[in-house]
Chains A and B, each alone.
Chain A
Amino acid sequence: MPTEPLMNPVPTRARLREALRAMGASLSAGRLASNPIAPIQRPHAPAAMVEHDRIRAIPVRPLPPPPVVGFLDGIQRYSHEGNLGLVPVLRAHVAAMVQLREDGRLRVRAKVEKDFLVAPVARLTPAQRDRLMGLGLPVHESRAEEMVHPLVDRQRAVEEIERAREAIEHAAALQFVSDCPDFLLVVDGAIGEYPASWRAVGVAKSHETQFLSGPDLEVALTLPYGTRTSVFARTGSAGRKVHTWYLRLWPWEGEDLLYGLVRVERNADDESMAAATELSGWLLSERTPLSSPDGRWDRLLYPIHAVEESLRAQAGSWA
């Protein structure tokens, strides 16, 4: 029998977790992973306190949502079809849809879609450009850098596709807003690009950009289940101010910090601040039905999931 090592032993996983707990940590799910994390474009952005001087946790109770609400989502698909020399040519499809929920039933109210090509057009010869343009699909400039790099070039093209999807979501939202100006429109993500006259509610579930720091950030990211943070403001593009706050939809003990955490966005006005608790309450009731099997079901609202599923089904095996 080997004897016990004399020096500090390498801790087992169980011992590590026990020690962390003893130190007051909140333990995560501890899932094994080996993928590198993609670089984050914009890790930080400024914010201003609105509701309170410091971020606090405010309890929220589930409330029935308004009887009629719109939900917006968009999808994108693309394929790298070939290279003219070193110039990549991608084919893309973007689509966005709004479904209106009445009596619990979702019905399509607006849909916009687009097929197009993406390439660093500036790098093409005039003849190549004419041939591509003549194919009958719009050709988007991918805004590639001057230095050729196959991976970066492709990344720029994909960024253009994302911009196109955002534009198309915007178009779908516009259609809906002009049809039904009185109903709230819940969008998947930020609303900083939308005019303040729209009654949009953003539900962001990715937390790439952090607006808070220090104890405020800690309060926000360790928010208990069934609470929201104080409302604060962030600045969107074109200098538009947006009210925002965090909301925890599911208990996160034993999971990651961001589990069940969404960030809600509203127009920066008094009404939206006053309604923050109520709005949070009905978002809490949106936890059911669950949007499984989507892996993001802890943050993905079912109606948004349903819109996305419709778009995917309609895109079929787009090819």
Chain B
Amino acid sequence: MWLGLPFRIPHSALRIGTMTQPTAIPIGRVVATEALPSSAHQFHFWTATDTAIGIGAIVRVDGPDGRVVHAVVVDARAYSDLMTPLHDVLAAEGDPAGAAAPTRRTEIRLWTANVLRQTPEEPVQPVPLSEVRLATADDVEVALRMDGYLRGERPSGIPVGLYSAGGVTSPIFVDADFLLGPESAHLNITGISGLATKTSAVEFLLSAIFQHFPAHKGRVAAVCFNVKGPDLCFLDQPAQLTEAEQDMYRQLEIDPQPFEKVSYYAPYRPDGVNLNTLRSCPELVGSVEPLTWGLREVLDYHEVLLNRDDVDAKADAFIDFLADRVVEKEFDDDWGGKHRVRSFSDLERLFRAIFDGLEGQGRSDMWRTHHIATIRKVRNRLLNISVRCKGLVTDDGGVSDLPFGAFEDRRVYVLDVAGMDQLGQDLVFTRVVSQLREHLERRDLGVEHVVVFVDELNKYAPQDGPETYVRKMLLDISERGRYLGLVLFGAQQFRSQVHRRVVGNAGTVVFGRMDLDELATPGYQVLSPATKLRLATLPKGELMVRHPHFTQPVFLRFPRPAVLNGRGGVERFPPSPDVSFADAVARQLAQLDRGIAPARVKDLIDGRREDDVRRALLATRRARPRPRDILGFFQSKLPAAVPRQNAERPGAGTHAVVRPLEDPYAD
């Protein structure tokens, strides 16, 4: 049994033969002494030594005056009538191996329970010294105040798992109004790697939300940042579930199916044609959309690039100048050059013109009120990103992005950034979340609610360390997202390492198997030692959940997600090694039209600039409606053929930068 106790029906229940309703029989009695009194929030009770309850079990006390108290067991003690350990030594004459005592001492199982709810709620009074019964499924509903949102005109329960104790199993629901706003929002999950089932719990929860989010609350989508290996790469593939797991799904009224609508996005590798994802198996890679941004997309989020240094108002001002006055505008440098900057290459041309101009001019270090050092710094930062995020940032302005404005109800958008470096991840994260935010503010995203899942939250919103733009943004979602429908689901191994205001604003908090050192940090002081021990030994698939409606945390169990996990995914769909430029292009076109022969594609692109090919390929992939003649369309997007001798060496594309930067951070 999941409580960690062997499952046993209380003897009394067996004797009377009421196994279906074991709770009709008291299993314990409240005791109170001056030293250990019953209070309005906590009480103590004893049971037979042979009992089905354990830490986390929900119980019910009926007072003589009709008062009903529901509570959860948080601690337990056992002791005998032995006065002092010395008496045991004396009786055994100092020999622990001596003959066993013929009589077992009278002993007690003394439990401590924290009150979940009292009915009536007023006046608040100490728990009566009455009999204790195990909660029935109905009791669990009342105890956790779920009756308030499961019944009535507009139910808003989302199943999160099964509570079970003493033979009673009942589904636990959280309130959508408190999970996805507006009352409260956000979910945070903590626990040690591999055992806490954090990622799995979020996947399961997303299915629960998609299947149970009430229609009257509108449309909901999820944006998941895949930051670790193949974790979220197979959300559309079914998992093999056992009969027991399927039964759990039945009890939770969730259809154990993979996500029906999933969109995958991944940047390219530096070669600009192979996608940087572990979902690269030929069978699946066709469903991965490239994520490519141009200069404009990057410039708009230049704060991300600058936040690693001390914030520099001068650099900021110069970037603003570029964004407002230069990019995509006719622009005259002061030396007769005309520029229309659309890409990083264009930008580099402008910078060269400025530097050359200033040099020719002699002594001046200023250009249009900007110091040359600032200009150099900004140039280095911007061009640096085009190097480090070569597969994300296109040199030529080709953009392939999430469908902001056309988000679909119950669709998951997975951004696979696992293969990107930190700077690129920060940039993707910042831009995507900012876009979501802006669209939600304008109410034109396509859905009213978006769950943003960020794994390894400690990396993006650390408690310590410098103030970064990403962390500021996570704080902003945490504090204001619920009014917008922008909901953060965050996961991390150590909650204590995540910014206090980020975890503090999560309305729903979930714990899987925990590390004892982490449990010793101040954030867990409210938990009883027994609860901590249980957290430190939780098996896979069991969680402790805090939710605004639950006065006390509740232990529950959820089934493995119905989707293929990362490890299973790469086994079933092994990632394919990167292929040559020509093969990659041929393969991508073949995905659009199976009839296209690779040899024809290779002939067509032979001798052409890779940039041109990439641009044509992107245009073909993104053409809507999809062209009937894929190859013809592709060909039409290629510039007229150039003689071979003018072509660059294969593999040395000028995709992003004009020339490599020796020290990207040098001013």
Contact = CB atoms under 8 A, between A and B. Distances in A.
Interface of A: 62, 64-65, 101, 104-106, 282, 285-290, 292-293, 302-303, 306, 309
Contact of B105 (A64, A101, A289): A289
A309 B81 contact: yes
29 contacts: A64-B99, A64-B102, A101-B102, A101-B103, A104-B102, A104-B103, A106-B103, A106-B104, A106-B106, A285-B102, A287-B91, A288-B88, A288-B91, A288-B92, A288-B101, A288-B102, A289-B82, A289-B87, A289-B101, A289-B103, A290-B87, A290-B90, A290-B91, A292-B83, A292-B87, A302-B105, A306-B81, A306-B103, A309-B81
Contacts of A105: 104
Contacts of A101: 102-103
Nearest to A313: B106
B83 A62 contact: no
Given A104-B104, A288-B91, A290-B91, 4 more contacts: A104-B101, A292-B84, A303-B103, A306-B103
A101 B90 CA distance: 23
A234 B324 CA distance: 119
A292 B90 CA distance: 11
A141 B90 CA distance: 47
Contacts of A285: 99, 102
Nearest to B49: A105
Contacts of A286: 102-103
Contacts of B100: 104
Contacts of B90: 290
Contacts of A288: 88, 91-92, 98-99, 101-102
Nearest to A287: B91
A302 B83 contact: no
A290 B89 CA distance: 10
Contacts of A302: 101, 103, 105
Contacts of B92: 288
Per DSSP, chain A at the interface is loop
B109 to A, nearest CB: 14
Interface in B45-89: 81-84, 87-88
Contacts of B88: 288-290
Contacts of B98: 288
Contacts of A106: 103-104, 106
Contacts of B82: 289
Nearest to A286: B102
Contacts, number: 52
Nearest to B84: A292
Given A285-B99, A288-B91, A293 B83 contact: yes
Per DSSP, chain B at the interface is loop
Nearest to A65: B102
Contacts of A104: 100-104
A84 B395 CA distance: 115
A306 B90 CA distance: 19
- Max chain B CB contacts within 10 Å: which of A65, A289, A302, A303? A289
Contacts of B101: 104, 288-289, 302
A101 B82 CA distance: 19
Nearest 10 Cβ contacts at the A-B interface: A288-B91, A290-B91, A104-B104, A288-B101, A290-B87, A293-B83, A65-B102, A292-B87, A289-B101, A292-B83
Nearest to A293: B83
Contacts of B103: 101, 104, 106, 286, 289, 302-303, 306
- Max chain A CB contacts within 10 Å: which of B83, B88, B106? B106
Nearest to A106: B103
A143 to B, nearest CB: 38
Nearest to A71: B103
Given A104-B101, A288-B101, A289-B82, A309 B106 contact: yes
Contacts of B99: 62, 64, 285, 288
Contacts of B106: 106, 306, 309
B91 A289 contact: yes
A286 B103 CA distance: 8
A203 to B, nearest CB: 14
Contacts of B102: 64-65, 101, 104, 282, 285-286, 288
Interface in B80-130: 81-84, 87-88, 90-92, 98-106
- Max chain B CB contacts within 10 Å: which of A106, A292, A309? A292
Nearest to B104: A104
A99 B99 CA distance: 22
Contacts of A65: 102
- Max chain B CB contacts within 10 Å: which of A64, A65, A286, A290? A290
A8 B465 CA distance: 90
Nearest to A63: B99
B99 to A, nearest CB: 6
A107 to B, nearest CB: 11
A287 to B, nearest CB: 6
A64 B87 CA distance: 21
A293 B80 CA distance: 12
A228 B654 CA distance: 107
A89 B83 CA distance: 39
Contacts of B105: 289, 302
A101 B84 CA distance: 24
Nearest to A105: B104
A106 B49 CA distance: 13
A292 B82 CA distance: 7
A143 B234 CA distance: 94
A186 to B, nearest CB: 11
Nearest to B82: A289
B644 to A, nearest CB: 95
B78 to A, nearest CB: 15
Contacts of A62: 99
A282 to B, nearest CB: 8
Contacts of A293: 83
B12 to A, nearest CB: 13
A63 to B, nearest CB: 9
A262 to B, nearest CB: 16
A177 B466 CA distance: 83
B395 to A, nearest CB: 83
B375 to A, nearest CB: 88
A166 to B, nearest CB: 25
A68 to B, nearest CB: 11
A101 B91 CA distance: 19
A101 B106 CA distance: 12
A66 to B, nearest CB: 9
B92 to A, nearest CB: 6
A105 B48 CA distance: 13
- Max chain B CB contacts within 10 Å: which of A64, A287, A303? A287
B294 to A, nearest CB: 80
A90 B181 CA distance: 72
Nearest to A302: B103
B140 to A, nearest CB: 33
A315 B144 CA distance: 39
A290 B101 CA distance: 9
A277 B90 CA distance: 24
- Max chain B CB contacts within 10 Å: which of A65, A288, A302? A288
B82 to A, nearest CB: 7
Nearest to B91: A288
A104 to B, nearest CB: 4
Contacts of A64: 99, 102
A282 B101 CA distance: 11
A191 to B, nearest CB: 21
B469 to A, nearest CB: 68
A65 B106 CA distance: 19
A95 B205 CA distance: 61
Contacts of A282: 102
B95 to A, nearest CB: 10
B29 to A, nearest CB: 13
A94 to B, nearest CB: 22
A58 to B, nearest CB: 21
B473 to A, nearest CB: 64
Contacts of B84: 292
A97 to B, nearest CB: 14
